[in-house]
Amino acid sequence: MSLRVLVGVKRVIDYAVKIRVRPDKLGVVTDGVKHSMNPFDEIAIEEAVRLKEKKIAKEVVAISCGPTQAQETIRTALAMGADRGIHVEIPAKEVEKLEPLHVAKIMAKLVEQEKADLVVLGKQAIDDDSNATAQMTAALLDWPQATFASKIEKTDGELQVTREVDGGLEIIKVKLPAVVSADLRLNEPRYATLPNIMKAKKKKIAKMKAADLGVDTSPHFEVLDVADPPVREAGIKVEDVDTLVTKLKDAGRI
Amino acid sequence: MPVMLSFSRGVLKCCNGISKFTSRLEPCVTKLGMMGLTSPHRHYVTSLNPSHGLTEEQVAIYQLATDFAVKEMLPNMAIWDEKELFPVDTMRAAAALGFGAIYASEEYGGTGLSRLDASIIFEALSKGCTSTTAYISIHNMCAWMIDHFGNSSQKEQWIPQLAAMEKFASYCLTEPGSGSDAASLSTTAKRDGSDLILNGSKAFISGGGDTDVYLVMCRTGGQGPKGISCVLVEKGTPGLSFGKKEKKVGWNSQPTRMVIFEDCRVPASNIIGSEGQGFNIAMKGLNGGRINIASCSLGAAQASIEAAVDYVKVRKQFSKPLSSFQNTQFRLAEMGTEVVASRLLVRNAAQALQDDHPDTVALCSMAKYFVTERCFQVINEALQLHGGYGYLKDYPVQQYLRDSRVHMILEGTNEVMRLLIARHILSEWK
């Protein structure tokens, strides 16, 4: 059984950057700020490449919906072992307004076009923390979904996935084709090697627009306000537990 | 895209308008004739951010090296320095990514990248540990020397092992009696049938005693440079021994020892290149080595200035962060300018070496002396900006300082660099 795997990779602000709210208070500063691949997507790519090395997958396609620079993110995926890329170009001004539903629709369309057998996505992006694209993609395709995967094993025609849930670990079986979302402990992504970075230059990245896939990217949401979290206040010492309980009640905490 | 040539006062200008083009080579006509540009390097802007001015591929390379440096080296650099550990496993992990023989050709297992690529790699890795990166660069230099001057059986035997860092290499030129006056070296290699018998000693050998392969410049012929050959000697060869491990101010993650030859017998087939070519090979190796060492200083300075910026934004005195004081701002401005100037000089020299530009030796020497000196000052200033904390080993700036100090001395002292540049200036270069 040789699967074609589509993996979504998103270009996000690098996790180490200090985020600053834009003066217009409708977003965060992205100009000139360091961006990199969403860490959960790195894990997704790594898993897909490992599936290829185990001969379970035959081809890994890296897909990114984003501005021109998203190509760098796709190249990183190619350097890690993806075979080719698809860049769905979203104009820079609209990138912020791109929603999980738009991406899910795009992924669903590409699944049809590419005749994919498996979609692996990062569980959430570290900029919007939506944790929705994988679920929506599965729903649009009417495919089973295995989210928060910390282990994936292949059995005949099926995947056995260990999921990290609040109660602990849950092991489920999903029939292929399926959508999986990668959680932190699924694997540790490899470094690209220099030879692979050089080879990645020759791998193909197809370019297209959302409209080419018949997907309308008009926003359904409007951001009203973006603000820094409140400055941390000093704590207060209390004499005894009774005072503590009173103060908590006064603050409406209990 | 139009290329306009305007002749004015004997100077030809070349305009191309857009600076972002990657794959088109813009021919530039100057008084010296057509200069074939082999990379789009000159169309990009170099800045304080080291990944500006690089091609997409180089940005990916820089990112890889930085990630590796921050994750695998930086957490350990203090321990390696304190306990004087030679981090073999970490270096082998770096080699697995292709960092072992970066600019040796792919034919026998090198990575086949350019001098500029190597420079940005060493710049990035130096943040993780300047001393270890400097050793990696020496190892790379040795691998290149074999790759460029060795015969096919030598390359077949050594390049794969050196590229993977299964075996480590050392460069042996300096002796107790000959440092700057390298051509006066006195380690002899006398013919005995199909062998050479080596006698003499080498001083200050990086990696000495722990490495496996020694490229030894020794005298097979008469006096002067033309009597010198480059001979490969393997550790374990009878007659090869080592002095005590030197105690150093920095570069503590690499052992430094004297390398001693007492009737050390090696097959004459271990000569790299031809007999009498050794000095030339040594100097050609050092051209690249100088860019590499300068890149290490640059990386250390970059890491130091970043650390200083973070510190002065946080540290307050007189109810204000240090970053609000004009003196702090002026110091940082000067430091930043020195770093950008250094980066331009190093990358330019790397490109010159790659292109075999006629001024290569002068440009590499300029880069080496300027960058190692200025970047040392930058690191020193960064330490000052940290106040008392800068002097504590809990903070990395003091290690960058101690590690980069020796860069002004080895691979050709900065004084020798000045000699080489002066020679060029006083020669018929105009």
B88-113 pLDDT, tens per residue? 999 999 999 999 999 999 999 999 99
Q: What would the mean pLDDT of B311-333 be, rounded to a whole number? A: 98
Q: How many contacts does A have with B, using Cβ atoms within 8 A?
A: 41
Residue A75: list chain B partners with CB under 8 A. Answer: 56, 60
Please list, in sequence order, all residues whose beta carbon lies within 8 angstroms of the beta carbon of residue B108, skipping any fewer than 6 positions away: B147, B155, B156, B159, B160, B163
**Cα–Cα distance for residue pair A56/A49, rounded to 1 Å:** 10
**pLDDT value for B43:** 56
* Cβ–Cβ below 8 Å for B63 and A36: yes
Which of B59, B67, B113 shows the shortest C-beta gap to A194? B113
pLDDT given at position A253: 87
ipTM metric: 0.85
* Residue B46, min C-alpha distance to chain A (Å): 15
Which tokens in the block code for residue B388?
């008392």
Neighbours of A156 (CB within 10 A): 6
Q: What does the mean pLDDT of chain B come to?
A: 91
Task: Report the residue from B57, B98, B102 with minimal CB separation from A201.
Answer: B57
**Which of B56, B61, B67 faces A194 most closely, judged by CB atoms?**
B61
Residue B3 pLDDT class (50, 70, 90 cuts): very low
CB contact under 8 A, B63 and A191: no
Q: What is the C-alpha to C-alpha distance for residues A147 and A144, in angstroms, rounded to an integer?
A: 10
CA nearest B427: which of B359, B335, B357? B359
Instruction: Using alpha carbons, select from B248, B249, B291, B303 the residue that is nearest to residue B130.
Output: B303
Q: Does B310 touch chain A (CB under 8 A)?
A: no
| A76: closest chain B residue by CA | B60
Q: Beta strands B11-15 and B4-8: pairing type?
A: antiparallel
Contact, B249 vs B402, CB < 8 A? yes
Answer yes or no: is pLDDT of A197 > 70. Answer: yes
* Mean pLDDT value across residues A155-169: 94
CB-CB neighbors (< 8 A) of B64 in chain A? 79, 191-192, 194, 197
Residue B197 and residue B215: Cα distance in Å, rounded? 15
The distance of B421 to chain A (nearest Cα, Å) reads: 34
> Chain B residues with CB inside 8 Å of A81's CB?
none
Q: State the smallest CA–CA distance between residue B49 and chain A in angstroms.
A: 10
**Looking at chain A, which residue has its C-alpha nearest residue B66?**
A191
Nearest CA in chain B to A79: B60
Q: How far apart are CA B126 and CA B403, in angstroms?
A: 10
CB B176 within 8 A of CB B160: no
Taking residues B370-390, report their average pLDDT: 98
The whole-angstrom separation of Cα B313 and Cα B30 is: 47
- Lowest average pLDDT, out of A133-137, A236-240, B106-110, B124-128, goes to A236-240
Residue B422 clears pLDDT 90, i.e. is over it: yes
- B390-404 per-position pLDDT tens digit: 999 999 999 999 999
Active site residues of B: 411
The dihedral sign for the CA sequence B78, B82, B83, B86:
positive
Distances (CA, A) of B317 to B304, B312, B323: 21, 10, 10
Average pLDDT over all residues of chain A: 95
Chain B residue numbers with beta carbons less than 8 Å from the beta carbon of A76 are: 60, 63
For the segment B193-222, the average pLDDT, to the nearest whole number, is 97
d(CA B216, CA A254) in angstroms, rounded, equals 77
Within an 8 Å CB–CB cutoff, is residue B406 touching chain A?
Answer: no
Is A200 an interface residue toward B (CB < 8 Å)?
Answer: yes
pLDDT tier at B34, thresholds 50, 70, 90: very low
Under an 8 A CB cutoff, do A194 and B64 touch?
yes
Average pLDDT estimate for A42-48: 98
Across the interface, whether the CB atoms of B56 and A75 are under 8 A apart is answered yes
